[in-house]
Amino acid sequence: MASRESFQQSAPALLGVFPLPLVFSQAAISTLRERSSGVLERLMLVAPRKVDLYFGYASAYAVAVAVLPSTALTVRVSTAWLGLRIKGPLWPVVLAATATALFGLGLGLLAGAFARTEMQAMQYFPVLVFPQALLCGLFAPRHSMARPLCCLSDLMPLSYAVDSLRASAVAPLPDGTYARNVTVVLGALAQRRTL
C-alpha cells in the first residue's frame, strides 16, 4: 500500500521529467548537426538575427513536440494501465507535461548553440538539468530543503513544472497557482530563445 501511495505522489512529476532528456538530446544534436553541416551559414546569407533563427528552430521543434502524441500517450498509459489516479481532467496534466518538454527543447537549443561536438552537446545535459532535477522536489519536498537550496530551487523552472504536474493530478480543476507555474516554465523557454 505504501508503494502505491508513493507511486501516486511521484508519477505525475515524472510524466514531465521523462520526455525532457529525449527532447533535449534531439534538439541539441540536430541543431549542432545543422550548424556543422553548413545549413546555418547558408541561412546567414539572408541575414536573419540570431534570435529569429533560434525562434524559428524552436517553433518548428515545438510543433513537432505538440503534434507528436508522446506526452499524451504517456499520460494515457499511466492512467489506463499503470493505475495513476488523476482527480480532475487530463488536459492540465498533458499541458504541464508538454510545457516541460518544450522547456527541455529550449535547453537543447541552448546546448546546441554553444557545443562544438555531439559529445559536448550531451555533456551540457548534466550541467543544465541535473541540478534542477535534484532541487525540483522530485526526490525530497522543496520546503524541507535547507534555505539556500530552497532559494536555488525557486529559481529553477523544473521546480515549477513539477509543482504544476503534481497540482494538476490532485486538483479537480487548475487554479491560479497552476497557471502561474506553467507560465513560468514557458517563460523560461522564451528566455532561452533570446540568449
pLDDT confidence of residue 195: 47
pLDDT for position 159? 92
Angle, in degrees to the nearest 10, between helices 50-67 and 176-193: 130
Cβ atoms of 128 and 44 closer than 8 Å:
no
Start-to-end Cα distance in the chain: 47
Beta carbons of 112 and 121 less than 8 angstroms apart: yes
Calpha distance 113→54 (Å, rounded)? 9
The pLDDT assigned to 42 comes to 64
- From residue 18, alpha-carbon distances to 71, 74, 104, 162, 163 in Å are 9, 9, 10, 12, 15
Please identify every stretch of the chain with a pLDDT value under 70, giving residue numbers as ranges.
1-3, 38-48, 50-51, 53-54, 57-58, 60-70, 189-195
Per-residue model confidence (pLDDT) at position 194: 47
Looking at residue 65, what is its pLDDT? 60
Which residues, 6 or more positions from 105, have their beta carbon under 8 angstroms from its beta carbon? 23, 24, 27, 58, 61, 62, 65, 189
SS3 173: coil
Nearest to 118 by CA among 11, 24, 2, 17: 24
Question: Rounded to whole angstroms, how far apart are CA atoms 106 and 190?
Answer: 8
Q: What is the dihedral of CA 176, 134, 166, 67, to 10 degrees?
A: 90
Q: Among candidates 84, 87, 88, 129, which has minimal Cα distance to 106?
A: 129
136: DSSP letter: S
Helix (H, G, I), strand (E, B) or coil at 85: coil
- Nearest CA among 44, 188, 61 for reference residue 112: 61
Side-chain half-sphere CA neighbours of 163 within 13 A: 24
